[in-house]
């Protein structure tokens, strides 16, 4: 009471709310007015922020927390009454006729699309010191994830607009205090990787208040008794942010029809985007999640059909730590196991969601973007009365369909993992411990997967690509294919790739092929070494003949060797660029590179 004079009328209301919600421990020991007044005001500025950035405000956060903490203490099963079963979705096979039809439809629809990258996570499992979107997707060209994503959106925009009026595809990035400044700096220092600055919107998510006990008493920051401790709330924040920032409304007014969400480090994803957008448009899905075959117990969620005893049913992601116990509790004593295909029958959620904007916006008008939350306290002992450290509520973006009525059209599309999913999530040590046969999800496997996918796509298009060799890097055994990379505008879809290769070409396993331009045509090329071709948009280059040189050998690097930059040593290899044929065509015109 003595300190009330320091506060604005709105803050006095917040103080009353905190008292009513049994949170007076936050300020009972505050000193007399005149001492630390600045800190006291800063405390209420923080409370104001925490209150306004949460749908329903802090009171609602505390109330929800009490309910969830009580459920967690009593061990209430969140799936009570639900039986899991394997759902049916659209299964696509890369490169076949159906796939190509969906790709064509997707490219057309892309003019009505907007993209949302969730990049607020620090990637604790990876342990990398920088932001994950700044990591090279592959080290042959060194292009980082963000550059790759932006160039893909631009390539889609161009292909989609062809012959029609110019329309820029909006691109939003959700950041957090952990990633915001560095994401902004990466964009600014690279001229937004060719995108118009106005096309990109950064939306920063706020952290949420930590909870110190089962009564949901808010935790004070151990470093500063005038601050509430906060932690990330999860990627589910993206929905509330898109709504509260007015971005969704702006997109709707601008004619956007599809909103595509994706994560920070999947170097393959855009190979699957055109076709999955085509599926959404063709099938009229309000929500379409992209999935890949999943190994049992792999750390990705499983797409599951949940049927309640009261008849309700929904198709939803069941997170990786919940699927096994849920199956065991519902008559499957072995839990999450591989079936005769060698995979779990539940497809793996890769958190690439495509929403139809109209129904999505209507739903958010009702919910404000609030997503069903969960809490995961680490208890001190079996009595579950105290926590080892403070906890908080969390939410996931793929839980959006949980509030939808049964009439909503929720579907999913399963794509081969080699072409759709290769995230960089695990540090070398943990990756090396992944059970044999399960994907490593590391910087090593993420890069090698790019070469594998590109090699297989070229094979599919008729190029003879030599088989890979097995090699071990940072304790992980991977297939090493020729290092084939191309700019998104070179081969956005399989049809584009097919148009660019002709005749009889071959690439040996030790080779590197980097295609950095739009109109580079490979015809009767025999490559055994390194070849780098760069061209301007107005140039048309035909590449053929026999290229043989010492090339770029792969040299092993130990992840513990700190003399090597972190982004390299986490892969376990680097290239010795001994010899290459490198050509640039910057002027417009027709050219021939006959080696
Ligand atoms: N992210 C944020 O933007 N904000 C946050 O507060 C937290 C994360 P992780 P996770 O595809 O492999 C997800 O940590 O959450 C961003 C799905 O839940 O990489 O363990 C972050 O920057 C799971 O079902 O993954 O697991 C990153 O871009 C499965 O699909 C993204 O959110 C799994 O991903 C994901 O964060 C997967």
Q: What is the ipTM of this complex?
A: 0.98
**567 close to 135: Cβ distance less than 8 angstroms:** yes
Angle between helices 57-74 and 9-20 (to 10 degrees): 20
- The 10s digit of each residue's pLDDT in 65-108 is 999 999 999 988 889 899 999 988 899 999 999 999 999 999 99
> How many Å lie between the centroid of ligand 1 and the Cα of residue 235?
6
Using CA atoms, how far residue 297 sits from 323, 329, 414, in Å, is 8, 16, 18
Atom 24 (ligand 1) nearest CA: 301
Nearest Cα to 515, choosing from 583, 450, 578? Answer: 583
User: Ligand 1: distance of its center to the CA of 246 in Å?
Assistant: 24
Q: In terms of C-beta distances under 8 Å and separation of at least 24 residues, what long-range contacts does 41-47 make, across chains too?
A: 41/6, 41/7, 42/226, 42/227, 43/226, 43/227, 43/228, 44/6, 44/7, 44/11, 44/14, 44/15, 46/227, 46/228, 47/11, 47/14, 47/18, 47/228
Q: What is the pTM of this model?
A: 0.95
Write phi, then psi, for 118 (nearest 5 degrees). Answer: -90, 115
Atom of ligand 1 nearest to the CA of 233: 6
How many helices (H) and strands (E) are present in the chain, helices listed first?
16, 31
Residues 302 and 383: their CA atoms lie apart, in Å, by 31
Q: How far apart are CA 4 and CA 45, in angstroms?
A: 14
Q: pLDDT tens for residues 275-288?
A: 999 999 999 999 99
Q: 290: part of which helix (H) or strand (E)?
A: strand 287-294
Q: What CA–CA distance (Å, rounded) separates 394 from 239?
A: 14
Asked if 303 contacts 347 with a C-beta cutoff of 8 angstroms, the reply is yes
Q: Tell me which DSSP letter residue 325 carries.
A: H
- The alpha carbon of 53 and the centre of ligand 1 are apart by a number of angstroms equal to 20
Ligand 1 center to residue 263 CA distance, Å?
A: 7
| Whole-angstrom Cα Rg for the chain | 26
Task: Provide the pLDDT for residue 407.
Answer: 85
What's residue 299's pLDDT? 84
* Closest Cα to atom 31 of ligand 1: 263
Looking from the CA of 369 toward its CB, the CA atoms found within 13 Å total: 20
H-helix or E-strand spanning residue 497? helix 494-500
What is the spatial distance between Cα 56 and Cα 51, in angstroms, rounded to a whole number?
A: 8
For residue 211, give the DSSP letter: B
In ligand 1, the atom with minimum distance to the C-alpha of 265 is 28
Q: Is 119 in the pocket of ligand 1 (CB under 6 A)?
A: yes
Calpha distance 414→594 (Å, rounded): 41
What backbone torsions phi and psi does residue 291 show, to the nearest 5 degrees?
-135, 160
Tell me the C-alpha to C-alpha distance, in Å, between residue 473 and each of 76, 217, 266, 509, 554. 44, 47, 20, 17, 10
The segments of the chain whose pLDDT lies below 50 read: none
CA of 131 to the centre of ligand 1 (A): 14
pLDDT reported for residue 163 = 63
Nearest CA to ligand 1 atom 35: 263
Whether 300 is in the pocket of ligand 1, judged by its Cβ within 6 Å, is yes
pLDDT at 138: 98
CB of residue 234 inside a 6 A radius of ligand 1 = yes
Q: What's the 435 CA to ligand 1 centre distance in angstroms?
A: 21
Ligand 1 pocket mutation, candidates 125, 205, 351, 353, criterion most atoms within 8 A of CB = 351
Farthest-apart Cα atoms in the chain, separation: 86
CA of 348, closest atom in ligand 1: 30
Helix (H) or strand (E) holding 321, with range, is helix 320-329
């Amino acid at each position: 009471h003595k300190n009330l004079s320091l506060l604005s009328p709105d803050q006095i209301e917040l103080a009353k709310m905190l008292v009513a919600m049994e949170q007076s421990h936050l300020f009972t020991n505050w000193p007399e007015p005149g001492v630390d007044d600045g800190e006291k005001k800063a405390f209420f500025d923080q409370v104001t922020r925490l209150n306004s950035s949460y749908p329903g405000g802090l009171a609602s956060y505390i109330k929800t927390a009490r309910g969830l903490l009580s459920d967690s203490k009593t061990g209430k099963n969140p799936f009570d009454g639900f039986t899991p079963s394997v759902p049916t979705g659209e299964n696509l096979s890369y490169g076949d006729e159906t796939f190509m039809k969906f790709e064509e439809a997707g490219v057309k629809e892309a003019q009505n699309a907007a993209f949302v990258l969730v990049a607020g996570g620090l990637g604790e499992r990876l342990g990398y010191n920088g932001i994950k979107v700044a990591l090279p997707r592959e080290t042959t060209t060194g292009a980082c994830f963000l550059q790759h994503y932006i160039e893909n959106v631009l390539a889609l925009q161009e292909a989609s607009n062809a012959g029609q009026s110019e329309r820029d595809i909006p691109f939003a990035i959700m950041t957090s205090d952990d990633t915001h400044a560095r994401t902004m700096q990466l964009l600014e220092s690279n001229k937004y990787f060719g995108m118009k600055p106005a096309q990109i919107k950064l939306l920063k998510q706020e952290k949420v208040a930590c909870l110190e006990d089962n009564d949901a008493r808010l935790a004070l920051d151990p470093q500063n008794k005038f601050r509430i401790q906060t932690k990330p709330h999860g990627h589910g924040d993206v929905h509330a942010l898109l709504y509260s920032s007015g971005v969704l409304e702006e997109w709707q007014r601008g004619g956007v029809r599809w909103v595509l969400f994706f994560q920070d480090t999947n170097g393959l994803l855009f190979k699957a985007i055109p076709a999955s957008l085509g599926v959404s448009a063709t099938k009229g899905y309000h929500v379409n999640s992209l999935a890949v075959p999943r190994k049992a117990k792999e750390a990705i969620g499983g797409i599951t059909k949940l049927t309640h005893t009261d008849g309700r049913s929904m198709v939803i992601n069941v997170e990786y730590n919940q699927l096994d116990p849920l199956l065991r509790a519902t008559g499957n004593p072995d839990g999450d196991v591989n079936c005769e295909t060698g995979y779990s029958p539940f497809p793996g959620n890769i958190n690439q969601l495509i929403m139809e904007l109209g129904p999505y916006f209507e739903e958010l008008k009702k919910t404000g973007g609030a997503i069903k939350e969960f809490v995961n306290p680490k208890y001190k002992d079996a009595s579950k009365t105290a926590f080892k450290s403070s906890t908080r509520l969390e939410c996931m973006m793929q839980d959006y369909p949980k509030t939808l009525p049964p009439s909503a059209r929720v579907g999913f599309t399963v794509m081969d993992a080699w072409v759709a999913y290769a995230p960089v999530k695990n540090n070398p040590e943990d990756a090396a411990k992944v059970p044999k046969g399960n994907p490593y999800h590391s910087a090593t496997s993420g890069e090698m997967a790019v070469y594998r996918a590109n090699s297989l796509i070229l094979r599919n298009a008729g190029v003879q690509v030599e088989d890979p060799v097995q090699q071990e890097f940072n304790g992980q055994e991977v297939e090493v294919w020729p290092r084939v990379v191309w700019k998104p505008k070179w081969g956005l879809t399989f049809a584009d790739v097919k148009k660019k290769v002709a005749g009889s070409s071959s690439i040996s396993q030790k080779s590197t092929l980097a295609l950095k331009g739009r109109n580079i045509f490979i015809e009767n090329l025999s490559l055994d070494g390194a070849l780098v071709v760069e061209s301007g948009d107005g140039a048309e280059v035909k590449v053929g003949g026999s290229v043989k040189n010492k090339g770029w050998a792969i040299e092993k690097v130990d992840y513990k060797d700190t003399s090597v930059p972190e982004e390299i040593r986490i892969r376990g290899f680097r290239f010795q660029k001994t010899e290459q044929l490198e050509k640039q065509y910057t002027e417009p015109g027709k050219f021939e590179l006959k080696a």
